[in-house]
Every structure is written in structure tokens, then in C-alpha cells.
Amino acid sequence: MLAFILKRLGQSILVMLAVALIAFVMFRYVGDPVASMVSQEASIADQELLRERLGLNDPFYEQFFRFIVNALQGNFGISYRLQTPVAELVMSRLPATIELALTSAAIALVFGILAGVFTALNRKNPAAAAIMAFSLIGVSLPTFLIGIGLIYIFAVELQWLPSFGRGQVLDLGWWTTGFFTETGLRSIILPAITLSLFQMTLIMRLVRAEMLEVLRQDYIKFARARGLSKRAINFSHALKNTMVPVITIAGLQLGSIITGALITETVFQWPGIGSLFLSSVAVVDVPVMAAYLIFVGFVFVIVNLIVDILYYVVDPRLRIGAAKGH
């Protein structure tokens, strides 16, 4: 187990170095940040002085090495637009994005698995058919359109929930959360549902397809012949074996919630790092854009690492293969 984790950690480090290189190369040559930082009356000499102060005239390898060393220390430079350390900007927006992503992931996993199991075990039930028909909304409509529709129904017409913002938050010193306030909880409902709908639909259909396939296997027929209860067959044997491929696909999809949050945060004016990234793109704020891409890459690496470990724990074939040295 330890060797397996160390191997995956080594691969994760290589992936993060590649992501850092791609982020640096992409944003290093996207426009001229100096042009957006100085006034139109600034002379060429003033612009060159600013480039020298920011280190933009240094060779590529020196800039990239300095970027890696500073990133390992949590220093992503100074925002060109706000003249504020990027780490402070990201940390001020990170709690909002993390709360939204975790809430959306919980909704997608819980309701996706429950709906998938229900529709697989009750294929002829009208409720199962209705769930399958309703799930088409999650895969056929774009996220921003779903968000606008929810805002119109629940915020404009019914006026049950707020249409924008994070609501009142509780400052814990190192973290801000809206989970302990009424307005915070009401504000996160619509964006969380919008962000989770596609992932929930995907997980539901995946669980349903895998469970229908498992229920046709010979060992399930043998369990029925031995007189085991339907509960034991469906949940102790069928669902457990269904989870092996579901964990892999669901983990990869849940990692994309962070990137999907960019659109959702824009629609609901959610004060997360996604909206920070969009505002930085407009003014070519390179340090903020690079930090965002590295953060997204880090989230995907961590999620994939957790998925690999869970896959190793759930699937006994991997443990047997590792014990034999394969």
C-alpha cells in the first residue's frame, strides 16, 4: 500500500511540474501586462523600468525557476491589477469556491447513487421512468441556462431564495463560512444545485448501467439460488461491485466541479476564485491566471490520487497483483 501511494505521489509531482510549465508558458505570452498597469501618458522609459522591476526582461528559464521556487513557498507574486499578493487574493476567495464545490459534490454523489440504484431495481416503475426523463435536463442543457432558469423560478417568481451573492458569512479567522448563517445556507442552494445537476445525472446513469450489468452476472444468480434476501443481494453484492468503475469515473467528474464552478460563480455572482480568474483575464493579470491554473491542476491531482487509493482498497485484484509483484 505504501509503495503504491509513493508511486502515485511521484507521478503527481511530475504532473504538477508539467501544469506549472504550461501555465507559465501560456500566460507569459498573453498580451502585455505592463500596458494594462500604466496610464496612456506613461513614457517608454517608464514602461521599461516597470518591466525590469517585475522581472519580465529576464530569460525564460530564470523566470520559470523563480516561479517554481516561489510557488513552493506559496508566493505567486503580486497581482498586476490590484497590487496585492496573489496568495492573499486566492485565500480570500478560496472558502467560497471550496464550500460550493463540496456541497455540489455531496448532492451529486448522494442523489446520483440513490437515483441510480432506484432506477436499476425498479425499471418498470413509473417513478423510475420519470427520473430518467428528468435527468435529460442535466445532460442536455448548458450550466448557465439551468442557473438562469432556477433564478427566474425560485428567486424572481417565487422569491424563496436569493439570486446572487454568498449571504452573511461567519469569520473564523482563517476561514469564512456561510454554513452557520441562514442567509448563507439559502444563498448556496441554487448555485450548488446548478453545479451538481450534470454530475448527478452522469453518476445516476453510470450507477444504473453498471448495476443492471452486475445483476446479470452468474454469482448474483447463484446468490438468489442460495436463498439470500434481495437486500443482501442488491446492496452487499451488486452495489459493492458496481462501485469499482463508478469510483473512477465519478472521481474524475467531481474534479471538474472546480472548473465548472467558473461559469456558475459568474451567473450567481458567487465570490469565488472562478470569478476572480475571469476578471483577471480581462486585464491580463498573469500571476492570478497562473495561480488559478495551478490550483485547478492541484485539485485534479489530489482527486485522482484519492480515487486511485479508493480503487486500490475496493478492488481486491489490485492488492493481489501488488502482492505478487506485478
Tens-digit pLDDT profile for residues 127-173: 988 888 888 877 788 888 888 999 999 989 988 888 888 888 888 87
59: in domain: no
- Provide the pLDDT for residue 31: 62
- Is there a domain that residue 136 lies in? yes
On whether residue 99 sits in a domain, the answer given is yes
Model pTM score: 0.81
- Confidence class for position 299, pLDDT limits 50, 70, 90: confident
Query: Looking at residue 191, what is its pLDDT?
Result: 92
Judge whether 23 lies within some domain. Answer: no
pLDDT for residue 313 is more than 80: no
Which residues form the domain of 218?
91-323
* Number of domains present in the structure of the chain: 1
Q: Does residue 61 fall inside a structural domain?
A: no
Q: What is the mean pLDDT of residues 224-246?
A: 81
Domain annotation covers residue 17: no
Per-residue confidence (pLDDT) for residue 140, from 0 to 100: 82
Assess contact for 210 and 216: CB atoms under 8 A: no
The pLDDT tens digits of the residues spanning 85-103 come to 888 888 888 888 889 988 9
Residue 48 included in any domain: no
Average pLDDT value over all residues in the chain: 82
pLDDT at 33: 67
Q: What is the CATH number of the domain that holds 110?
A: 1.10.3720.10
pLDDT of 126 strictly over 80: yes
Let me know if residue 16 belongs to a domain. no
